[in-house]
Structure 1
Amino acid sequence: MVPMQPRSPVEVHRASTPLELLFDLVFVVAVALASARLHHGIVENHVGHAIVSFVMVFFPIWWAWMNFSWFASAYDTDDVPYRLLTMLQLAGALTLAAGVPSAFETQDFLVSTLGYVLMRIALVLQWSRAWRADPPRRKVIARYIIGLILAQSGWLALLVLPPSIKMIGFITLATLELFIPYWAESAGQSTPWHPEHIVERYGLFTIIVLGESILSASMAIQAAMKAGALDAKMLYLIAGGVLIVFSMWWSYFQQVEHKITESMRNLFFWGYGHFFIFASAAAVGAGIAASVDAALGLTQASQQVTNAAIALPAAIFSLSLGLVHGRLRQAGPVRKAFCLMMLAIVSTIWLDSAVFWIGVSMATYLGFKLAVNRSITV
């Protein structure tokens, strides 16, 4: 066992480790289950319930992943104790994922909560190692430990509270969780996270959530062929799904200049703003799957509902990405084109072949933006 000394924030060629990639793999399962349950809620026309459940499940998935990634960026020693505690976090993530179906179906969050708390206990133990090995930051680290313990006590208490106040309890505890890093980092010398490493980690999680849309497009082809319904309507849907996913990917990774070191305010806006990027990207996959069911006549929801299930997440993704990456600050034709794209996406709620037209709108805007940027740099 080596002392958990802080990593250098200017370390050259800092990249994700195999252990971090294994950690991501577990979260692929959790995100897939959450997206699948949202899809089922939409096609069963239980949209409100499905959205609330999705948010309540996706938040701990995202937050646990994010906390692990930022801690690893600052203190990853990759020794035996670190790996064993990460294994404990993996076990918690699997437990959280196993509880997703019951959370959606019966609002029973027992299994998911226990999995989440297990992950957080492991993180407290990791922070305790850092506290012993990093005296200059002990005040900051102590606040992390205190905040985590208080929050987990709250999550466990929420399990026995009356159902009527559980939503209020969830919002309160989620707010507390979000406040802990800000409270801790403001206590003194901040933790030494690595900017390029964090950007890479967020990019990898973006790939994970986009994978749900790719899976949905693949399942659309499979379902259509099985039902003998690979007609023009289904081909439009598949083409639209591919355009949406590729446009989302290209937009996220196009000339990535994440200015996350300017100030604590910008840092937290960038980090927390990704919740909407990740959640909406995962929801796009559920929306595409719901559109496939609608095309095959397997849904109880109306056309407007299934169209909205893909249009609104796509719009939220585009808006969140523009705000988080600071691309909407630029005036001129690109911003006007963005507004037209947003209007076009929302308008597809009342159109046939909505997935196709959403894909066309996003791809057209992307092409226009690339052309304008190229003309500026030439």
Structure 2
Amino acid sequence: MPPVDEGSGANREMPMSGRTMMSARGISPWYRPMAARNSSESHRPATPLELFFDLCFVVAVGQAAARLHHSVSEAHFGTGLVSYALVFFAIWWAWLNFTWFASAYDTDDGVYRVTTLVQIAGALILAAGVPPAFDQRDFTVITIGYVVMRLALVSQWLRAASTDVAGRRTALRYASGVSLVQIGWIARLGLPEPWGMVGFAVLVLGEFAVPVFAESARPTTWHPRHIAERYGLFTIIVLGELIIGTAFAMQSAIEETAVTAALLSVAASGLVMVFGMWWLYFDQPAHETLSSNRTAFVWGYGHYLIFASAAAVGAGLEVGIDFDTHQTHISPLAAGMAVAVPVALFLISVWGLHVRPHHRGPLLNSAFPLAAVLILVTPLTPLPLPLIALIVAALVGVNIATKPCDEAIQTS
């Protein structure tokens, strides 16, 4: 995740003409030279291929959230949380690698699409490896999925190096760095515990270091608005998984018991929570933050907490349904914390990445941490979920009240 280099000589508009014009220029729709895109293009939306790529991660996110739900319901709190953190990192990092490369080098020709298809196949293999990784810490299948995705990704970086002379050094650093770390992931499979966990931590740091090392040669020309939209779309996917998981849990509970006041409370509270989380995330112009060289890496990496906590809220709501239908024997405090902790983490993450950089004033900046603290206290009360929903709704109200009038007019 590089800083923006708007003065780069390699920045130029990608040809977006039709088949006839491409043929006239001698450019085939099957293959065109891969050159750096312009980081200041006037219109740079997410492509249908990127949207399709994102949808392929729905399975993996749903698997991770479902496994977390079952772990918490069975009172396996520590192992469940650790497994969830590890597995969700694997899912998120695979998505992130594709997203930032595509923002800088998407040619949308036939070769690029087929290579993306290979990455999609790797993502589906990764999804199939979520259950053994979560339950037995066996990352063999996930690693195989990564090998498939990484072979395609490295070929993309080598393709960029061969045609984008100005960005060749950066592309080669990415290709070599990604390859080296991937060899490390394969070697890690042979490590016994607890060395396997140590190796995991070391390799995560290595993954984080590759973009920093590569971008120090010359920043790639990713597009701030495009990246903000891509992250926003993935946030919607995660929130959608939250709603789907909760809806299925409600359906199962109603089939086995009946509609009760407790279930209706979970449903209503969950809906208000999710809508409030959506509102608070998307009410800040993220691309303005991304235009700053100082915050690009922090913003991009920090979204791990936003994505992981949002998906975990769904698992927590399903735990709440289990508790109300007597399908779990955990304590009321544990059931309340299953929702309170991820909601609080989501709010703190959104505050740090989306609110503070915009300097919206002391009231809103203090309201987010205060809301997170109050939410963490709600499990000590008889009605934790309605109270969490009420606090999130109140925070939305504070956000609206402190929004500048001109900004409110522009977004209305």
TM-score scaled by length of structure 2: 0.88
Alpha-carbon distance, 1:377 to partner: 7.2
Q: Is 1:142 equivalent to 2:167 in the alignment? A: no
Alpha-carbon distance, 1:262 to partner: 4.3
Name the counterpart of 2:123: 93
Residue in structure 2 matching 1:295, options 320, 324, 328: 324
- Alpha-carbon distance between aligned partners in 2 of 1:257 and 1:107, rounded to the nearest angstrom: 35
SS at match of 1:325: helix
Aligned residue runs from structure 1 range 279-294, under 5 A: 279-294=308-323
Root mean square deviation of aligned Cα: 1.7
Alpha-carbon distance, 1:263 to partner: 4.0
Alpha-carbon distance, 1:325 to partner: 1.2
**More deviation, 253-262/112-121:** 253-262
Alpha-carbon distance, 1:48 to partner: 0.8
Alpha-carbon distance, 1:301 to partner: 2.2
- Alpha-carbon distance between aligned partners in 2 of 1:375 and 1:220, rounded to the nearest angstrom: 41
Name the counterpart of 1:227: 256
Residue in structure 1 matching 2:272, options 243, 254, 268: 243
Q: Contact 1:213–1:286 at 8 Å: present in 2 too?
A: yes
Q: Contact 1:229–1:296 at 8 Å: present in 2 too?
A: no
SS at match of 1:135: coil
Q: Is 1:306 equivalent to 2:332 in the alignment? A: no
Q: Contact 1:206–1:278 at 8 Å: present in 2 too?
A: yes
Alpha-carbon distance, 1:6 to partner: 1.4
Alpha-carbon distance, 1:101 to partner: 0.6
Residue in structure 1 matching 2:288, options 256, 259, 271: 259
- The one-letter amino acid of 1:70's match is W
Q: Contact 1:284–1:314 at 8 Å: present in 2 too?
A: yes
SS at match of 2:288: coil
**More deviation, 238-247/320-329:** 320-329
Q: Deviations over 1:126-158 (max 9, x none)?
A: 000000011111111111111101100000000
Q: Deviations over 1:18-53 (max 9, x none)?
A: 111110111011101111111111111111111111
SS at match of 2:382: coil
Q: Contact 1:44–1:301 at 8 Å: present in 2 too?
A: yes
- The one-letter amino acid of 2:215's match is E
Aligned residue runs from structure 1 range 31-42, under 5 A: 31-42=61-72
Aligned residue runs from structure 1 range 104-115, under 5 A: 104-115=134-145
**More deviation, 258-267/348-357:** 258-267
Q: Deviations over 1:46-100 (max 9, x none)?
A: 1111111111111121111111011111111111211111111111100000010
- The one-letter amino acid of 2:197's match is M
Q: Is 1:72 equivalent to 2:107 in the alignment? A: no
Q: Contact 1:233–1:353 at 8 Å: present in 2 too?
A: no
- Alpha-carbon distance between aligned partners in 2 of 1:377 and 1:285, rounded to the nearest angstrom: 32
Residue in structure 2 matching 1:165, options 172, 195, 218: 195
- The one-letter amino acid of 1:292's match is I
Instruction: Name the structure where helix makes up a greater proportion of residues.
Output: 1
Q: Is 1:197 equivalent to 2:210 in the alignment? A: no
- Alpha-carbon distance between aligned partners in 2 of 1:261 and 1:202, rounded to the nearest angstrom: 12
Q: Is 1:48 equivalent to 2:68 in the alignment? A: no
Q: Deviations over 1:285-315 (max 9, x none)?
A: 1111111111111113222122111101000
SS at match of 2:295: helix
Q: What stretches of structure 1 move > 6 A for 4+ residues in a row?
A: 375-378
Change (3 A) 1:262 1:173: same
Change (3 A) 1:261 1:362: closer
Alpha-carbon distance, 1:16 to partner: 1.2
Residue in structure 2 matching 1:362, options 375, 392, 397: 392
Percent identity between the two aligned chains: 48
Q: Contact 1:258–1:325 at 8 Å: present in 2 too?
A: no
SS at match of 1:211: helix
- The one-letter amino acid of 2:139's match is F
Alpha-carbon distance, 1:252 to partner: 0.6
- Alpha-carbon distance between aligned partners in 1 of 2:124 and 2:383, rounded to the nearest angstrom: 37
Q: Is 1:13 equivalent to 2:59 in the alignment? A: no
Q: Contact 1:221–1:230 at 8 Å: present in 2 too?
A: no
- Give unmatched runs, 5+ long, in structure 1: none
Alpha-carbon distance, 1:330 to partner: 4.4
Change (3 A) 1:369 1:260: closer
